[in-house]
Amino acid sequence: MKICVPTETNEGKSAKVYGHFGSAPYFTIVDTEKDSVEIIDNANQHHAHGMCQPMNALMGKKINAVVTGGMGARAVQGLNQGGIKAYRAIPGTVADIVSQFTKGGLEEITVDNACAQHGCH
């Protein structure tokens, strides 16, 4: 399974989760089956509200899930249409988040509980 975690830095599994999907500086992708890490720069991190296109950076990566601090409803819809589920991250590192995810301990982000106007529940 490939899990994408928006991160503050490009430090792999020791990077801390970033607060919001679309404006994260990096996307850290962990392949849990191969125990490998891929880091992608988010060239679209600076954008007008509602205009982010983070999936452009992730095209072709065959991601199964995104775990993030927050995400807007349109991003959730876009991911879901591509067969990708989104989950709300716990504070911590990529390693912490992947561990919690594999235990089934993270809340799914849906259109109903997504962030609105960059404010989250």
Domain of residue 68: give its range.
2-41+58-109
**What is the structure's pLDDT at 120?**
55
Q: What is the mean pLDDT of each run of 10 residues along the chain (121 residues)?
A: 95 94 90 96 58 60 92 86 91 95 93 70 45
Side-chain-side CA neighbours of residue 40 (13 Å): 22
**What is the structure's pLDDT at 74?**
84
Q: How many domains does the chain have?
A: 1
Establish if 114 belongs to a structural domain: no
Assign 87 to helix, strand or coil.
strand
Establish if 52 belongs to a structural domain: no
**What is the structure's pLDDT at 51?**
45
Establish if 50 belongs to a structural domain: no
Establish if 103 belongs to a structural domain: yes
Reported pTM: 0.85
Q: Positive or negative, the Cα torsion across 105, 3, 71, 16? A: positive
Distance CA 67, CA 103 (A): 14
**What is the structure's pLDDT at 46?**
46
| First-last CA distance in the chain | 28
Report the CATH number at residue 92.
3.30.420.130
